[in-house]
Structure formats: C-alpha cells, structure tokens
Structure 1
C-alpha cells in the first residue's frame, strides 16, 4: 500500500535518527484510521534497513538489502508487532519478556505496539518496565488514537509524534489507488481525513446520509421527525454501528458547523 500524508513529519523522524536525536520509545498519536500503523511500519523499515547510514535512503528503507527483503515477506525477526486491541495480556507479557532473551542479529530491533491505548493494566506495566530499561538496540513505537488513555508514566517516557488527518485529495488517492474505488465527496468530507473511516462510510453510505440529513433537520428545528427517526434506528440490528455513525455525524456538526449546508448538498 502506497503511504501518503504527513510527509514533513515522516522526514523529520528520519532526520532525528540521523542527528542521534531519536528517543528509543516513540509515541505516534493521531485520529483513528489516518495511517499511524503504516507510518510506524514504514519508519521501522527505515530503522532496520542495513543501508540506512547512506545518503538519500527512502523513508521505508532501501528495499534491496537482506533486512528489507525479509520485511517485504513479513519474515523479519527484528520487527516485532504487538496488536494490543486483539491480543490478551499474557501473550503481550510473554512477547515483552522474550525481548530480553533473544539476541538481536541485526544492528537494531523495532517493536510496534499497535493501538497501545487498549493495553490492560498488567500489559501496560510490563511495557512501562521495558521502556524504563529497554533491551539493547531496541526501539519501541506505540500507536494510539487517544494518548490520554495511556498510563501517564508511559506517555511521559515516550518521544511524542502527532500525525495530522490527511487532506481530502490524499484520502481520495489512497482509496482509488489501493482499492480502485472512487469515493463520494460526502464520504471524504465526513471522514475528516481518515481513509479507514471513509471506507467504512462508503460501505454504509445510504444509512449514513439518512442519519446525517435527519440530524441536520433536527438541528434546524424540525422536531416532528425525532420519534420516527428513533423508531427507524431501533429496527437496525447492528446497534454499535448506528451509535458510531450518530457520534460521527454529531462530532462533524461541532467541528465543521460552517460547512454543513455544503455537506448537506453532497448528501442529497
């Protein structure tokens, strides 16, 4: 998948490494679905590349050395990934403890903690100990949509890198290039810079448009449609999805109130 957005920040990461100003524990924060995990994987590839010391090495590594070849097949032992949202605490603790037992064959090792805010107390405490006393030649990259949910002690010990939502055109390009789909202006605008969210909106576009238009009418004083609207929502089986769409539309009203009439036209 071709990576887009936040080019300046991604280059700054590489520059920080070259200038020996990079911390061993990095916190990648930003809106959900904007590509923080992809940025983490890209930078991990850069750190692990055997030719990283050379000039003009791309952000994702040279693509030709032994390590880069292993990374392409997801078989590089120096890249460890922890999926905090899906893995149980014991597995996470075991993964962390193994870092101290295994010798690193390459110059560096990178451990990515995806969705780090989902770490439970015991897993978070294990991570904190590793950050305080990291294994030799090991970098930690934590990605999260809400840094406030992390332990304050973890946040304070990480070098913070905040990634911005993507531009509308970048969202369109990502979806078009990787999925051969042309997203509607409505989905792109409502996603507010999140390609992942734009895809979700495309899957349920008619439902979201209906919710958006109804909420807009209610906000303009049409309270006669509230009861029928609620009855309609109650009939939908996937309640969690409906709640998420309601929250999404509501938050968009708050953030983009000046654009509502324009978005309304796209939703028609």
Structure 2
C-alpha cells in the first residue's frame, strides 16, 4: 500500500500526488477500478493511503485531465476509460537477447563524458573484475516511439570506447562491444527494485523515491578487466521478466 508515510522524505509534498496518480492509474489498468464504476470517495482515499485531501484531489485531477476519470456534479468520481497499455518488453537474460533488445528500441544520447569511473555499489559481491583507470560515460534514454521508458548510464573502458566510437552512429553500444576488438569473457546482470533518483525524476518524469525496476550489467574481457558497466532504471509498466520454473 502506498502511503504518505512510505513516500521518500526527499519527495516534495507537491509531487507526492504523482505517486498516488500512478497507483490509481494502475488500479484502472488492472481492472480493480472497472470502466463505468465509481471509485472510493476522496475521504475514503485519504484514510486508505494516509494522504492529505489536497494530495488526493491533485492525483484524481491528473487522471481527470487524462480523460480516465470524471467528477460528477452530485458527488462521486466515475471511471470513464482505461489508459492504453504500453508495450512491455521482456528483459534480456542473454547477451544476444540484449543486442536484439537495443536494436528494437530507440535510443537518445543525453550526455557523453570521458575519463569517468562507474559508481559500483558497495558490497555487490557478484561483481568480479578489475576496474580500469578510466571510462567513457554515456547517459541516455531508451524509447518506445517518442516515449522514454528507461534511463541508462553506461560506462565503456576509455581506450575500447575510442576504438568502437566510429561504429556507434549505426550500432548500439552492446552490439559494438560484441563486434569489438576485445572479446568479452564474462557478462552478468543483476535485477532489483530501486527508488527513482534525481536523474530519473528529471528524464522519466516520475517522483523521487518511486520504485523502479533496476538492472545492473557488467562485462569483463579475457584479462578480467571490467570493460562495460551499466545501470538502467525502467518504468515498470514497460518491462517484465519471465522464467521457466521447471528448467
């Protein structure tokens, strides 16, 4: 349950309504609030989510503006339509699938900076490899049509980046690494739920602290040096995972 108390303390009061709006939208998408039905009253939503009346009204107002809800003159709010479901991408579990994924989605480079170091979380024991002296940092958005759904911070070992850079006008970074001059020996991925930070808020338009699907990816060359590190935050409605539980 989303409550004011569980919202990140860094989220300004005036932006908390975005979290509630997202929750209410999800209720419509999943049929918990069917089209044509009346939703709980403002007072009931206040109590259910420990939210202020202003926050609840702002959240409902956002969905009214989207044409999903209608406030009736005699009181009450009715569901008018369900939002269009965005395409949900199956998250890659193999490097070859990762190449296909990047080839099938749009990419918008926001910033490129040389001589950087990746911020690898402390205590991430599964990361085994030597950090290179310097990396090229690439900040970008992955898009479905015009809609950005993932913010990525990718790091490529500096000398390797300089050798594959001419290919990046036609190829994604992961495909260029596949064809690159330093064959990959290992590549791993770690999925978790993480709160939206300031970059996510700015570029994906979600409130600070909103839970997102996060992928950490890294690859090493045959000498055991980390040549690629990536941190990606996905809007959850655009990504899903599937696993065969018997194989």
Same topology, TM > 0.5: no
Structure number with the higher strand fraction is 2
Structure number with the higher helix fraction is 1
Range class of TM-score, shorter chain: under 0.3
RCO higher in 1 or 2 (8 Å CA, sep ≥ 6)?
A: 1
